[in-house]
Copies of this chain bind each other. A is one copy, B any other.
Amino acid sequence: MSDVFVDPAVTTGPIAGSAKVYREIEGMRVPFRRVHLTNGEHLDLYDTSGPYTDAGAVIDLQRGLPPRPGVIRDRGTQLQRARAGEITAEMAFIAAREGVPAESVRDEVARGRAVIPANHNHPEAEPMIIGKAFAVKVNANIGNSAVTSSIGEEVDKMVWATRWGADTIMDLSTGRDIHLTREWLLRNSPVPVGTVPMYQALEKVDGDPTELSWDVYRDTVIEQCEQGVDYMTVHAGVLLRHIPLTVDRVTGIVSRGGSIMAAWCLAHHRESFLYSHFEELCDILAQYDVTFSLGDGLRPGSIADANDAAQFAELRTLGELTKIAKAHGVQVMIEGPGHVPMHKIVENVRLEEELCEEAPFYTLGPLATDIAPAYDHITSAIGAAIIAQAGTAMLCYVTPKEHLGLPNRKDVKDGVIAYKIAAHAADLAKGHPGAQQRDDALSTARFEFRWEDQFNLSLDPDTAREFHDETLPAAPAKTAHFCSMCGPKFCSMRITQDVREAMAAKSREFFEHGSQVYLPVMPS
């Protein structure tokens, strides 16, 4: 893949208690994680982890994942094909994954309410969809910084993030070897990969924002499109007139891309080249079917700055750009905040839908308070669940390291799990078809003291089992009718089973003697 020696090691093999299965759909193999239960039943779950969790797959990171066959490059974008009434192979694949009719996939894409980020040059990825009519998705940000990490570590994080359920990853590398890191990630990623091309463009001008130009930026975008990046964050909504609106903010501009463009605009006293060259950008992205993720360069970075004039002025501009992109046949999603107190969250979704024609909303959290650095996966999972319930289609995770440092492997997993919780909680609240099956299966296993099934149905079987092992490691404890929380005499579920037996006995008595009603009974 390159002449720099890189030798990553990643986690492979099935998730505990599960096996990879495929459903054959029109010659395609659509993957699921099948959880085998001890009562002989099984449950099939949406599976983002690619071949890495397939016990039969041979993984060769130096070669990359095998490309899926049948990628069509010359008939335009998924949006254009959906508008033409076509159900693409990607749409059929997605319909099978999501358990919905292929027509609804096509219709949502045609309306611009859903996107399928699938660059023609990234055939290694399994097709997936982002839109509010589908399961809420989770993105995991990875990538090095000038201070820390390596290509090997980033490939490991990518595989690790998708193992635990990341639906897409973004490579936000800003340190060394940006091109090469991305190449390793793209060739080995089973999920779509997003980037912020500005970061690499800035590296090309040695980190001085004022030296950026449309030419450097355009060339970087083309380079990344050729490599196979599936969606790109473009902060084209940061306009000169918005910048003064940030002056009285507590935390100014907290988007890296936003602050870079603001610095450029002020230095050149001109409107951003992303804005002035937006249509050329559309033409480039359309050639590869790269999806726009219109960045919120002026998102609030603190509770104090939420829903302010700067944020909503930019959102209005993103609405204009959405129309332009769609007119060029380019798929679009819209990025959202950030830091927002709970009572101001829903307004973000309503306004985005109104201004941006219901293009999929893709939010970073939001964090519901600023006061818990080291726990921002939790502060933001609260906001994320609420905003997803209101209609956000994809949630960008926040890890415990947010505001403090670059996330490591453990942080990545903690972030992904917290966001799978938020996404699933929203699916339940939206009544997403089939979402509750997993809750019901797990709770039934819990009630029936099928501990192994409870672990294996959970988001993280390893940790659930490990926690149980801490106090009751012996094998018989995995079928015992209690745990160490309440002990044997105080287990409500065991007592409930006694209660049910007592009621069944009463019921038999009633039918056998046919004489008196025993319920309800008034206080004696």
User: Which A259-302 residues sit within 8 Å CB-CB of chain B?
Assistant: 259-260, 262-263, 266-267, 269-271, 275-276, 301-302
Chain B positions within 8 Å of A385 at CB level: 342, 368, 382
Chain B positions within 8 Å of A401 at CB level: 467, 485
A500 within 8 A of B: yes
Chain B positions within 8 Å of A431 at CB level: 343
Known: A240-B519, A374-B463, A521-B269. A471 touches B406 (CB 8 A): yes
A349 within 8 A of B: no
Task: Please give the distance in Å from A164's CB to the nearest CB on chain B.
Answer: 11
A20 within 8 A of B: no
User: Which A373-418 residues sit within 8 Å CB-CB of chain B?
Assistant: 373-375, 377-379, 381-382, 385-386, 389, 400-408, 417-418
A222 within 8 A of B: no
Whether the pair B271, A521 counts as a contact (CB closer than 8 A) is yes
Question: Chain A at the B interface: mostly helix, strand, loop or mixed?
Answer: helix
Known: A202-B490, A382-B422, A439-B304. A472 touches B147 (CB 8 A): yes
Q: Quick check: which of A50-58, A127-135, A246-254, A352-360 contacts chain B, the rest being far away?
A: A246-254
Whether the pair B405, A495 counts as a contact (CB closer than 8 A) is no
Q: Quick check: which of A67-75, A104-112, A453-461 contacts chain B, the rest being far away?
A: A453-461
**What is the size, in residues, of chain A's interface with B at 8 Å between Cβ atoms?**
131
User: Which A140-172 residues sit within 8 Å CB-CB of chain B?
Assistant: 145-148
Known: A255-B492, A372-B417, A428-B342. A524 touches B405 (CB 8 A): no
Whether the pair B378, A418 counts as a contact (CB closer than 8 A) is yes
What separation, in Å, do the CA atoms of A259 and B501 have in the docked complex?
Answer: 13
Whether the pair B252, A485 counts as a contact (CB closer than 8 A) is no
A175 within 8 A of B: yes
Task: Please give the distance in Å from A459's CB to the nearest CB on chain B.
Answer: 5
Task: Please give the distance in Å from A340's CB to the nearest CB on chain B.
Answer: 10
Known: A371-B457, A523-B271. A493 touches B440 (CB 8 A): no
Whether the pair B520, A241 counts as a contact (CB closer than 8 A) is yes
Whether the pair B381, A425 counts as a contact (CB closer than 8 A) is no
Interface string of A5-46 (1 = CB under 8 A from B): 000000000000000000000000000000000000000000
* 10 nearest CB pairs, A to B: A241-B520, A146-B487, A252-B496, A302-B443, A207-B489, A368-B425, A259-B495, A342-B429, A147-B484, A259-B492
Which residues does A use to contact B, with CB under 8 Å?
145-148, 174-175, 199, 202, 207, 209, 239-241, 243-244, 246-247, 250-256, 258-260, 262-263, 266-267, 269-271, 275-276, 301-304, 339, 341-343, 368-375, 377-379, 381-382, 385-386, 389, 400-408, 417-418, 420-422, 424-426, 428-431, 436, 438-440, 442-444, 446-447, 454-455, 457-460, 463-464, 466-468, 470-472, 483-493, 495-500, 502-503, 506, 518-524
